[in-house]
A and B are shown apart, each in its own frame.
Chain A
Amino acid sequence: MYEFNYQKATSVTDAASKLGAGTDTRLLAGGQTLIAAMKLRLAAPTDIIDISGIAELRGIKAGKDGLVIGAMTTHAEVASSKDVKTHIPALAVLANSIGDPMVRNMGTIGGSIANNDPAADYPAALLGLGATVKTNTREIAADDFFAGMFMTSLEPGEIIESVSFPKPKRAAYMKFSNPASRYAIVGVFVAETGSGVRVAVTGAGASVFRATEMEKALAAKFSPESVAGISMPSDDLNSDMHASAAYRAHLITVMAKRAVETAVGG
């Protein structure tokens, strides 16, 4: 990788002020995407601000309405958290499905959603549960956060502090993993939330999206049969060496059906 200036931030305020300097300054959380990208020279920041030492960014807080998860909380911490397993078990299942144990010990929720890989899992959880992203300047609803492939609505200099997940009535995540990378070829997060049914699909398109036809069908009757007959259009879906757009469209229906089965049964 190319050389860079390294600084460790002591607080969010400190990180925000350091972010302004340098030609191409990036935050370093768990580094599971950034370091790999820098090794391939796909990313070449001139300055790196390490936020891993900011204690206020870590931790999981449970309230009666849901969970607040700090941006630097690792996937392993979410997957093994008693609070998460009690209040939103589908979230623990999702976190546990990311990468592998070593990646989960370093990778963070903040890093995952800031990167918005089209095949990442967390975007499906945020969109599926109607979560809210809290940054150092404002709060952003999940519906407004994921803007496109590797794009979010974060402004330059904006730092994710935490994500609030409202507790759903029931929810499940079902994923068809790439057998090598374990990224989602298609991942579907289904939730019966306080404000209605949400079905969030990741891996299939440029960015996570809601399957509105499935949401309507499940709102009428929350059962696997409601979505089993719904075929998704394949135009605008990803086609690559792992799966064609047509196959991904088919997988959305299969994963949605299995997710609903899990949500009603579990």
Chain B
Amino acid sequence: MRRLRAWFLAPSWTVMLLLFLAPLAIILAYSFESRGTYGGISLPWTAESYQRLADPIYLAILWRSVWIAALSTLVCLLLGFPLALFISRSGNRKNLYLSLVILPFWTSFLIRTYAWMFLLRDTGLINTALEKLGLIHDPLPLLYNDGAVILGLVYSYLPFMVLPLYATLERLDRTLLEASADLGARPWATLAHITVPLCAPGIRAGAILVFIPCLGAYLTPDLLGGGKSVMIGNLIQNQFTTARDWPFGAAISLALMAMVMALLWLFARRTPEGLV
């Protein structure tokens, strides 16, 4: 029995070791080495990369990443909650709506982000349409700013908010909502005092699933934010490419990971049943 158990666990352990723990160990080693002249790494061992993390320039980028990710998560929640509520009460149309929510995953993330560029740029669909309608004379600055980045992140990660919210709303005991109305609560009071609090596990799960990828986002800020909107993901990418500072890139990566882990730990501590 125990041998069988070991055999069944072997594939996932192999994947974890080769594709996760080993690269992580390499990154950890890199982060304590010195920068090679033409990229790569060289000796001696040093903690200099970690000291550079405290530089105000990098702290500012980190802070930007955090608030852009947080704002995107909040917008996802505000859009996703009503949507999930609507789907959970749509009777036999639930499956149709749920498949519409995940429909965007059928095409490449890159293509979808480019599609947004075609929509938002100065000669894009939105600006052209508004100009043709005579509503504006000069194109609106829709692309290459923080707003475009947040829009792109919300668009990309909204399903990750909707699905866990839907799962908790679907499980919600309807008689609790009836009891609330029965005791005199109007629909908004029931929403605020019963539905939302009982949906907290779904909100937490959705928030984690959206916030973490947003924090490390690289493609969306690169394409929709232009050069101006640098997030921590772009900074890491830069270190491994143009800046040729692998040790520093490795150090930022690990710092980002440590931050995410700390955040998860905080969330898990506040949830009696652990992470959903």
Indicate whether A and B interact. no
Using a CB–CB cutoff of 8 Å, the interface residues on chain A facing chain B are: none
Using a CB–CB cutoff of 8 Å, the interface residues on chain B facing chain A are: none
